[in-house]
Structure 1
């Protein structure tokens, strides 16, 4: 490390969809010599160690997550619980405040990246540390009110207006206080695409808004599990449908079955990675009647963790059905598989899906306007569009995807973006030091 190197602490929301991209960003920063102290629930490091490409610079600091009444014992992240219990995970995370304070006093990083812990900026300010509110999503359409929503999405988001999200604090207030009290705000993206949005948001927020780059994940430091490679190699190039709906979302049983029957209806080989649906103990018990026998040899339904990044790179995979998390979309965009968008009711995912569909880089599964439900026919239709070489929309989507992929894989693009991001972080810290010096001099 040299004098220009920074010491950065990472304290993301205890959800794998936040922990993982924060670690990907840590890799980008560590590659440039910056030191990272990564705060993580104590039983979770083994899930992320394979993605830590710079262990000499990125150090995991395990956090004891207090037990909160109503949570299963040992639950640390949202992947350990159902969606309805996520606010209790947030309550547990809030109760780590004293431990975080002690860690920060011991480590004294120059800046802390965070998202949902609205109390962090006040804590870091007392310690003379800067806070950086990193949303890890593109800035387009922020806030969500600027996105064209379907009736069921409007109703759901309206119902969450008064959603208590941990410790009696409303979800909206968590986000708003983070924006108000942080020293700077960060989004995923690059100036070539998101520049106008950033300038607008910087004016609205009254503080620096930084872009961390398009966020191309580095290859994990692990090998591909043989069983998946052997299975995929049985099929033609670009013929397999790979479906992953994230580590947290559980489908209702009827939607779970509708998705699988839609995959069966395509007639294509498929690998579906899904959580056990609501009300069931195992995947097998929830399968449609006779489904396992009908798709034997060409279809797999898996409920455990899987090497998504490596599977997306496999030449047999031709289509990716995704819940539209930002990390999953980026992994899909830099690979050749076509993208089918199936967001649930997470505002970020809806925004991502609508942006991709509007720009014709993927196709969104049709849902009922009022009830928000998809059918086996709508799942099959979306897959057929992107997999059929004769479909006009499918050809346009393939062309647009290819252009985006080429743009993102331009190595100079990400390198330039991340270098600029680091330079802006240094500038933010230098300004702060200058202001502190001026303040001290004013007393004399």
Structure 2
């Protein structure tokens, strides 16, 4: 084993969406705490969105800003996915790829790293051969999503679009019969055949994974060991696991107004719902959702993005809704302290879109888990928690991905009603998994092993 007297210099260049930048920062913080130099390359707007985490006292990581060049079709001033509509991702990917010369110059002349972490920048391995560094294609989505959607065993013909049924079918050798898509959910996987810049998404990811020295994944073997082994077999290279890399609970108490409101209710009685900033519901679905929470009869706190098609969230609320739920219901469009809310004594259920970060946060909480996935990786994450680990329930959805107020209400009541067999089962299983994840040294051991594997490169 190489001596650790020489600390590593690790550069990181994630896709310019905050859902990618933040997990890269989390693992970067852990590596920097162990004495390694970590340099994170990101646009200025992304740096500003990190807030305190990007302050000199807030993170041991070094930040280097890079310019996002303007390309035709990209709104002026756009630098991250937060600045654009999802339909403009293709143009942002073109701008992202056009950053290559500046990134190369930074890596060669200023940073001079030993290892570079990247995800969407499939051209980083070409720079590695010219500049001289090792590469880790670090994935912040689940191993299940990567194994299902982007492996050599899944081929997409260039001369035609695959059908929903073909896209829903697992690739040959896929190691699970439960973490799968249903037939009508094949449309969720259709993004893998779309252009992402000057290259199709699946081709971009295949190139990124094929060209690296090692694949890194933000997961643990306890949850996704067979998926990680399958990826290693498919790409014929090592897979390094960093563990979920969850940040410590933020310092400071929950905002006073929310703490005061939650304190009105008995322990484990409040339903908290959050879908993340990238999940924006249509007005009709948003209306159906809030009616579903009203139907439960339970106190609820909804933190969601403003729905499409309205200027103010109040326009999507049913007539008389706020009067009917006065005192027991909150609908908030804006950022909230999710970790503190989930740990509040009054919160007993977390309704989530099941992004990988929220998935891990839900497992670390004591809340019952209800899932409403929207996109490909979220659906597979949901099946991992419901069908494989049996720690959650999923809201039933129609073929177009919509759910009814009755389906949402039923899912919440299933886990929250006293004496519910399903509720008792997922609670017991959840407690067992949480015990594993919070075991002293569990997270640290993953990072320490991750570092040892980096030295092996």
Same fold (TM over 0.5): yes
What corresponds to 1:213 in structure 2? 243
What corresponds to 1:31 in structure 2? 33
What corresponds to 1:442 in structure 2? none
Distance 1:418 1:163, change over 3 A: same
What corresponds to 2:16 in structure 1? 14
Q: d(CA) in 2 for partners of 1:73 and 1:287?
A: 33
Partners of 1:82 and 1:250 within 8 A in 2: no
Partners of 2:284 and 2:316 within 8 A in 1: no
The offset of 1:272, in angstroms, is: 1.1
TM-score (normalised: structure 2): 0.87
Distance 1:372 1:55, change over 3 A: closer
Partners of 1:31 and 1:54 within 8 A in 2: no
Moved more, 197-206 or 44-53: 44-53
Residue 106 (structure 2) pairs with residue 74 (structure 1): no
What corresponds to 2:412 in structure 1? 383
Partners of 2:97 and 2:121 within 8 A in 1: yes
How many residues matched? Answer: 423
What corresponds to 1:149 in structure 2? 181
The offset of 1:219, in angstroms, is: 2.2
Residues 92-136 of structure 1 show CA distances to partners (whole Å, capped at 9, x for unaligned) of: 222221221121121111111111111111112211011111112
Distance 1:30 1:221, change over 3 A: farther
Residue 12 (structure 2) pairs with residue 5 (structure 1): no
Residue 115 (structure 2) pairs with residue 111 (structure 1): yes
Residues 146-203 of structure 1 show CA distances to partners (whole Å, capped at 9, x for unaligned) of: 442123311342x4343112x2211111111111111110112233444443333222
What corresponds to 1:169 in structure 2? 199
Partners of 1:118 and 1:177 within 8 A in 2: yes
Q: d(CA) in 1 for partners of 2:53 and 2:366?
A: 22
The offset of 1:315, in angstroms, is: 1.5
What corresponds to 2:446 in structure 1? 417
What corresponds to 1:160 in structure 2? 191
The offset of 1:356, in angstroms, is: 0.5
What corresponds to 1:374 in structure 2? 403
Moved more, 86-95 or 377-386: 86-95
What corresponds to 1:100 in structure 2? 103
User: Which one of 245, 259, 284 corresponds to residue 229 of structure 1?
Assistant: 259
Partners of 1:50 and 1:222 within 8 A in 2: no
Distance 1:271 1:27, change over 3 A: same
The offset of 1:233, in angstroms, is: 1.7
Partners of 1:322 and 1:341 within 8 A in 2: yes
The offset of 1:373, in angstroms, is: 1.4
Distance 1:232 1:74, change over 3 A: farther
The offset of 1:379, in angstroms, is: 0.6
- Name the SS of the counterpart of 1:405 in structure 2: helix
The offset of 1:406, in angstroms, is: 0.5
Residue 285 (structure 2) pairs with residue 280 (structure 1): no
Residues 204-243 of structure 1 show CA distances to partners (whole Å, capped at 9, x for unaligned) of: 2111111111323222355532222222222221111111
TM-score (normalised: structure 1): 0.90
List gaps (5 residues or longer) in structure 1: 429-444
Q: d(CA) in 2 for partners of 1:337 and 1:51?
A: 27
Q: d(CA) in 2 for partners of 1:305 and 1:89?
A: 25
The offset of 1:353, in angstroms, is: 0.4
The offset of 1:390, in angstroms, is: 1.1
What corresponds to 1:408 in structure 2? 437
Residue 348 (structure 2) pairs with residue 343 (structure 1): no
- Name the SS of the counterpart of 1:160 in structure 2: helix
Q: d(CA) in 1 for partners of 2:268 and 2:195?
A: 44
Partners of 2:142 and 2:377 within 8 A in 1: no
Stretches of 4+ moved more than 6 A in 1? none
Distance 1:220 1:39, change over 3 A: farther
Distance 1:307 1:90, change over 3 A: farther
Distance 1:267 1:212, change over 3 A: same
List gaps (5 residues or longer) in structure 2: 150-169
Distance 1:295 1:255, change over 3 A: same
Q: d(CA) in 2 for partners of 1:302 and 1:343?
A: 20
Q: d(CA) in 1 for partners of 2:287 and 2:73?
A: 29
